[in-house]
Amino acid sequence: MSRTGPTSSAKALEAILPLIAAGQPYEAHQKARTFTARYTKAGAHAVAIDVLFQSARELLKAGNAGSGTDLAVLLLDSYERAGEPVSDASRGRVTQLIALVGSSGAWRKTVIDKSIAWSAKQGSYPAGDPALQHYVGELFFKEGDLDGAEPHLLAAGTRDSARLLAQVYFDWVKASRSLESHAGIFALRGVLSHLLNGNILAARTFLDAFISHLPLSGETLSIGNTGDEIRITRDSVLNFAQLAVRTVQRAAGSQNKTAREAWVRLCGTYQSRGGVLARPEVRVVLNELATLYFEIPPPRGANVNPFGDIMSSLFGGAPGAGAVSAPPRTITPGAGRAQLALD
C-alpha cells in the first residue's frame, strides 16, 4: 500500500467475495466493513466505494438482505463523505442495489430514502435526482404498488414520469371501479400536484396522457387562435383541469392581465357550480396557484401550509394539527414534492 493510499479494490475483493460464495456472509460483511474503514481513513474513497458496491451486490444476490443493505447504506455514506456527484455511474450502482434488495421488509425503503437524500444533496434537484425518482416510481408501478409509485413520479417531474403517472392513476381509478365518477378528481390530483411544484410541462403532459386513456366521446374546443384545443366532456372537473393548465401556460406574473383575469373567471365560474372545486380545501390550492403564477395576493387568513390540511377532506389522508404559516413559494421545477392524497 503506497503512502497515497490504495488505488485498487482487487486485494479487498479477493478476500471478501470468495467468503460470500462459500456461504460465509457474516465474515464477508465484516471484512468489507474493515477494508472500507481502512480505505476511507486513507482518503481512498473511490476504492472504498467499489468494495462496498461489489460486496453489497454479491451479498444481496446471495439472499443476505440485512448485510447487503448495511453495506449499501455505507456506500451512500461514502458518497456523502466523498462528495460523489450524481452521475450515470453513481446512480447506476444505487439502482442495481435497490433492485436486488427486494420488496420484503423495510430494507429497500432504507436504501431508497438514503439514496434520494444523497441525490438531493449532491445533485441539482432539491426533491432528488429525477432519473432516480423515476426509477423508483416505475419499480413500484411494475410491482402493482400504485400508492408507492405516486410520490416518486411526482417528484421526478419529467415528461416520462408524467406519462407513467397518468397510467398509474388510470389503473388506480379502474381498480376502484369509479372511472365515471372519479376520473376528473384523479386528473385534478395530478394537475394540481405538478402545478404546485412549478412544473407546467409535466402537468400538461400528465393530463394529455391521462385523457388519452379515458373512453371519451365529447367534442373538442379550440382555444382562441393558439391552435390548442381541449376535450369537452361530461365531467366538469376534467374540463376545469384542462382549462386551468392552458391558462397557467399563458401566465406571466402580473404582466399578463388577460391571463390573470381569465384565471379569476375560470375559478369563479366553476366554483359557483358547487361540487369538488368549491370545497375550501381546493380553494386554498387554487389561491396558492393564483399567487404562484399570477401574483394575485392570497385572501386574508389564507396563508396556510398547502401540505397540511389542504385536500385532506377531499382526497383523504390525515389532517394536520392546524394552520401553519408557510413561506412564499416560487416556481422552481422539481423543487418540491407536492402530493395530494386520495383514498
Q: What is the tens place of the pLDDT at every residue in 9-65? A: 999 999 999 999 999 999 999 999 999 999 999 999 999 999 999 999 999 999 999
User: Does residue 318 or residue 269 have the better pLDDT?
Assistant: 269
Q: Alpha carbon 14 to chain centroid distance?
A: 39
In angstroms, the first-to-last Cα distance of the chain is: 59
Q: Give the range among 36-40, 166-170, 228-232 with minimum mean pLDDT.
A: 228-232
**Among residues 237, 325, 246, 323, which one has the least CA distance to residue 282?**
237
pLDDT band, very low/low/confident/very high, at 103 (cuts 50, 70, 90):
confident
pLDDT band, very low/low/confident/very high, at 180 (cuts 50, 70, 90):
confident
pLDDT score at 5: 60
Do residues 202 and 336 lie in contact, with contact meaning Cβ atoms separated by under 8 Å? Answer: no
Q: 3-state DSSP helix/strand/coil percent for the chain, to nearest 5?
A: 65, 5, 35
pLDDT score at 96: 98
Euclidean distance between CA atoms 284 and 306, whole angstroms: 7
Type of residue numbered 149: A
pLDDT score at 93: 98
pLDDT band, very low/low/confident/very high, at 328 (cuts 50, 70, 90):
very low
- pLDDT tens sequence across 244-258: 999 999 888 778 888
- Residue 148 predicted with pLDDT over 60: yes
Euclidean distance between CA atoms 7 and 220, whole angstroms: 64
Cell of 85: 456527484
Q: In sequence order, which residues have a C-beta less than 8 Å from that of residue 62 and are 6 or more positions away?
A: 20, 25
pLDDT score at 2: 43
Q: Is 111 helix (H, G, I), strand (E, B) or coil?
A: helix
- pLDDT tens sequence across 63-73: 999 999 999 99
pLDDT band, very low/low/confident/very high, at 308 (cuts 50, 70, 90):
very low
The chain-wide mean pLDDT, for the chain, equals: 86
pLDDT score at 301: 64
**Among residues 106, 164, 170, 101, which one has the least CA distance to residue 131?**
164
